[in-house]
Amino acid sequence: MAVESKAIDHIRKVLEKFGDKYFTKNGALKRNAVIEDLDNYNKNLMIEILKDDLLHETYTSKIADVEIFEINKFVDMLRYKEYWEDSFTRYNNKIGLTAGGRYIDDTSDVVLDFPYKDCVLKAGMTKEDVKHAGDADEPFLNETLAKPEIDELLEPKIFVNATKYDQSGKNLVDSISDSDNLIIKGNNLIALYSLEKRYAGKVKLIYLDPPYNTGTDSFKYNDNFSNSAWLTFMKNRLEISQKLLIKDGIIAIQSDYHEQAYLEVLMDQIFGRDNFVSNVTVQMSTASGPKMANISSSIPKLKDSILIYSKGDFKINKQPYKMKEKWDKEYSKILMDFTSKDRVKLDQLLKDKNTPIVKLT
């Protein structure tokens, strides 16, 4: 079933003011007639479109305090809306030869282009959020074609049924303070954007434990995405997480071999490769018991990875150490935290002919 956006609904209401000019007898929208009048800067049509609050906000911008009607953006939405269907394959009709964002029927100068690749995956974490258990068949919302839907999805929401636990027990509340510890139950993408206005640039540490995308059906949450859908799922959440972090804040994301390599490339893009802090290996089990049942055909999975990135100003404090009182086997290999003061002491010892010299290899 085709997904109709709020923008189309608003456009229909606007065009109905012109009678049957922009509609067929069966009520279908004459898109080409609308596009042609906009190309000719039809004054009456443009005025009526800009009177609508949603269309005005979505398709205008200010340059040097002058408000501009982005006609090309509006026309693109009309022209390509018919291809936007509720499936992962709806873009296959949109790959083609273009020049300046227009198809070859508009110009003779052509390039190979893949338009409308930037999008938001309207995905939920639980199986109840998707149509079929274990199947993340949910729509991508494109920034051009479905901007009103994206704005609605990501705008702040009112949290309901807020409960506070303290020494007196459990109580319903209608407000929170910055000192409260919060547990928010629901779609994490919506929750993160709802926190943006209040907590942007204030969070010191973010830890994410997303679906590993194992493709199995043994979890209560959805864990069966295509690779591209999983990366889009993560991209949406990483972008808002980056906004929430304080300047010297860090983000840690736990994953395993299914998506860890792809996740690191995505993190490089969003947080910057220079802001990579570490990839911590976490032992999750030992090579024993059920883990060894299929040892003849596969290598047992014993670890997870935690990717750690900073926002930009993160620094690791120098870890304290204590000099050992006497020489031992450890020091026969390496010297840890060897300072300039230690070097002076060593030089003094070397000058003493009675001090044995040990060659380090």
Q: Using one digit for the tens of pLDDT, what is the confidence trace for 36-56? A: 899 889 999 999 999 999 899
**Does pLDDT of 66 surpass 70?**
yes
In sequence order, the 6+-apart residues with CB closer than 8 A to the CB of 226 are: 88, 136
Return the minimum-mean-pLDDT range out of 20-34, 77-91, 316-330. Answer: 77-91
Lowest mean pLDDT: which of 154-158, 274-278, 305-309?
Answer: 154-158
Buried b / exposed e over 322-341, threshold 16 CB at 10 Å, is eeeeeeeeeeeeeeeeeeee
Residue 91 is predicted with a pLDDT of: 42
Q: Is the pLDDT of residue 111 over 90?
A: no
pLDDT tops 90 at residue 244: yes
pLDDT exceeds 70 at position 10: yes
Q: Which domains does the chain have, with CATH numbers?
A: 1-86 (no CATH), 127-310 (3.40.50)
Query: Hey, what are 168's tokens?
Result: 């007196």
The whole-chain average pLDDT of the chain stands at 77
The pLDDT score that the predictor gives to residue 318 is: 73
Whether this model's pTM surpasses 0.85: no
Whether pLDDT at 4 is above 60: no
Quote the pLDDT of residue 249: 94
Provide the percentage of residues in the chain whose pLDDT is more than 70.
69
Ordered alpha helix ranges (H), 132-226: 147-154, 188-199
CB 61 within 8 A of CB 17: no
278 contacts 259 by C-beta, under 8 angstroms: no
Q: Is the pLDDT of residue 274 over 50?
A: yes
Q: Which phi-psi region, left, alpha or beta, contains residue 110 (left: φ > 0; alpha: ψ -120 to 50)?
A: beta
